[in-house]
């Protein structure tokens, strides 16, 4: 892309944002009620506007500015429908979505959401991968007394992931959240409480069809890209364990959240404890408990016919991963796994902050904010070697929509940057230490560069409203990375087409 073209796009985006305006879409109605972003579904009754939409979409992604597990070229298509409905004595909210994504020449992480769990599995044979995701959410809230409300929400998602070229693999992932809630309200005061239960799990099943001329290797990342690199069916990878179907991993969480609203102020504070494990039955290879704290603060005020929103989201988590020391004993054809103890191999602290401002007026909306993430990781996979890492990532964004007649002209721009530092050392020992644990250095450098690379993203979109709530939309975005050393290229493009109906 020439310099003149970049300058032209930037000027066009800024001119659009200077005159931003939009119609009252589903997203605006959902965001203006701060309760909708939290766990307490009874908060939907703090608003009275009924809104729904259904949409079909298609996406196309291409370019070399990407993570190691992403495809250079990929496409996706799907459908989504969402609704908030208010009736006489109760309110309903719900959504349904389906997405199919396909990418060429993909390798790297075998998980559906790389980085979600403290361990990762990597393979190195490029091939096509297909991902299908089904999700639905349903919630209901009702008045049970003059000042009391009761409700509950269920959020469910299921995914299928497959690669059909050796080393091939098939994944199944489930994610379920249940949150019963209660609210007391009187005048401009409202107090809520929610119990939160979550269960997520994923199973990675790898295989090779036929007789391979060469052995396919895999890598088990146990933290900071230290781990086991060997044949995919080796004992250190856990992809081919006797009596276990693939590599199963799961997390079970219990938590609670407290909400408070007084006039234009809203606040939520929640705590969740998760118990995670990899393996099944007696063969548990890893256990990783996690503590999470999250808070959401917002303030809403009016100025004539304009509405202003100030928001601040904060999150903190601490994860510790313990690797079990196991042995197997076979007696009369029956194999039993014994756990002799465990070693702390990885710890991670994560902090996230997101301040945001939003303006709504009869003519439109404008949003601006920033995201700051701080990660501190400690890998102690093998005594006496210790590796620590501190990573800082930031992102600043501005977005707006110009609503004029039957057209919505959308524009957004964001700028991201970051840095990381790493330290390695050995603790004091009277004997000569052995070889350090194996590290996949190239992968470590590429992932860290992608997470911290300075890059800018520009986006433009145009929506046309037909009669009776039907609309069509096209979007395009361009991302450019700067000063790259490990990522193949500096450009990434995305095109999107949508057809929807609001009712």
DSSP of 47-69: ----EEEEEEEEEEEEES-S-TT
| pLDDT tens, position by position, 195-240 | 999 999 999 999 998 776 678 999 999 999 999 999 999 989 999 8
| CB neighbourhood size of 45 (10 A) | 21
What pLDDT, on a 0 to 100 scale, did the predictor assign at position 502?
Answer: 94
Q: State the Cα–Cα distance between residues 275 and 251, nearest whole angstrom.
A: 6
**Token duo for residue 456:** 């800018």
What pLDDT, on a 0 to 100 scale, did the predictor assign at position 432?
Answer: 66
What pLDDT, on a 0 to 100 scale, did the predictor assign at position 243?
Answer: 80
Q: State the Cα–Cα distance between residues 477 and 458, nearest whole angstrom.
A: 5
What pLDDT, on a 0 to 100 scale, did the predictor assign at position 77?
Answer: 98
* Rounded (5°) CA angle 186-191-192: 130
| pLDDT tens, position by position, 338-374 | 778 889 999 999 999 999 999 998 788 999 999 999 9
Beta bridge partners of 495: 60, 476
SS3 209: coil
What pLDDT, on a 0 to 100 scale, did the predictor assign at position 224?
Answer: 96
Q: Which of 499, 474, 488, 478 is nearest to 412 (CA)?
A: 478
Per-residue CA distances from 19 to 43, 108, 369, 398 (Å): 33, 44, 18, 13
Q: Are 238 and 247 in contact (CB under 8 A)?
A: yes
Q: Which residues of the chain have pLDDT under 70?
A: 1-24, 212-213, 333-335, 429-432
What pLDDT, on a 0 to 100 scale, did the predictor assign at position 24?
Answer: 57
**Token duo for residue 64:** 């070399």
Per-residue CA distances from 238 to 17, 109, 219, 279 (Å): 52, 15, 10, 9
What pLDDT, on a 0 to 100 scale, did the predictor assign at position 142?
Answer: 97
| CB neighbourhood size of 272 (10 A) | 19
What pLDDT, on a 0 to 100 scale, did the predictor assign at position 430?
Answer: 58
Q: HSE on the CB side for 355, CA within 13 Å? A: 0
Q: Provide Rg for the chain, Cα atoms.
A: 25
């Amino acid at each position: 892309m020439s310099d003149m073209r970049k300058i032209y796009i930037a000027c066009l985006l800024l001119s659009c944002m200077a005159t931003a305006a939009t119609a009252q879409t589903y997203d605006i109605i959902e965001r203006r009620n701060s309760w909708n972003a939290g766990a307490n579904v009874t908060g939907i009754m703090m608003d009275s506007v009924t809104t729904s939409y259904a949409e079909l979409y298609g996406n196309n992604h291409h370019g070399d500015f990407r993570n190691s597990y992403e495809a250079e070229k990929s496409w996706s298509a799907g459908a989504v429908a969402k609704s908030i409905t208010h009736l006489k004595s109760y309110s309903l909210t719900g959504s349904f979505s389906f997405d199919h994504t396909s990418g060429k020449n993909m390798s790297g992480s075998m998980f559906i959401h790389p980085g979600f769990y403290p361990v990762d599995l990597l393979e190195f044979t490029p091939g096509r991968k297909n991902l299908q995701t089904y999700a639905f959410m349903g919630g209901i809230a009702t008045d049970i007394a003059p000042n009391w409300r009761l409700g509950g929400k269920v959020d469910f998602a299921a995914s299928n992931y497959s690669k059909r070229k050796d080393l091939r693999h098939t994944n199944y992932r489930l994610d379920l959240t249940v949150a019963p809630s209660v609210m007391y309200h009187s005048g401009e005061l409202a107090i809520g409480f929610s119990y939160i239960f979550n269960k997520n799990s994923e199973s990675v099943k790898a295989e090779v069809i036929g007789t391979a001329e060469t052995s396919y290797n895999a890598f088990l990342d146990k933290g900071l890209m230290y781990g086991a690199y060997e044949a995919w069916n080796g004992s250190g990878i856990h992809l081919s364990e006797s009596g276990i179907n693939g590599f199963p991993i799961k997390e079970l969480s219990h938590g609670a959240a407290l909400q408070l609203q007084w006039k234009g102020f809203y606040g939520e504070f929640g705590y969740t404890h998760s118990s995670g494990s990899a393996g099944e039955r007696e063969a548990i290879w890893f256990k990783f408990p996690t503590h999470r704290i999250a808070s959401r603060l917002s303030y809403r005020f009016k100025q004539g016919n304009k509405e202003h929103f100030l928001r601040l989201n904060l999150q903190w988590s601490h994860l510790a991963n313990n690797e079990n020391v196991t042995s197997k004993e076979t007696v009369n054809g029956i194999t039993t796994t014994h756990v002799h103890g465990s070693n702390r191999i990885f710890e991670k602290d994560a902090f996230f902050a997101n301040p945001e401002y939003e303006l709504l007026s009869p003519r439109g909306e404008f949003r601006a904010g920033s995201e700051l993430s701080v990660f501190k990781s400690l890998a102690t996979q093998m005594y006496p070697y210790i590796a620590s890492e501190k990573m800082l990532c930031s992102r600043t964004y501005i977005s707006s929509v110009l609503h004029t007649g039957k057209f919505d002209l959308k524009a957004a721009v964001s700028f991201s940057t970051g840095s990381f530092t790493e330290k390695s050392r050995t603790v004091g020992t009277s004997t000569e230490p052995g070889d350090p644990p194996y590290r996949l250095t190239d992968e470590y450098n590429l992932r860290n560069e992608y997470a911290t690379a300075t890059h800018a993203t520009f986006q433009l979109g145009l929506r046309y409203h037909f009669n009776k709530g039907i609309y069509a939309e096209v979007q395009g975005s361009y991302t450019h990375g700067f000063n790259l050393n490990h990522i193949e290229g500096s450009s990434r493009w995305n095109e999107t087409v949508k057809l929807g109906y609001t009712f």
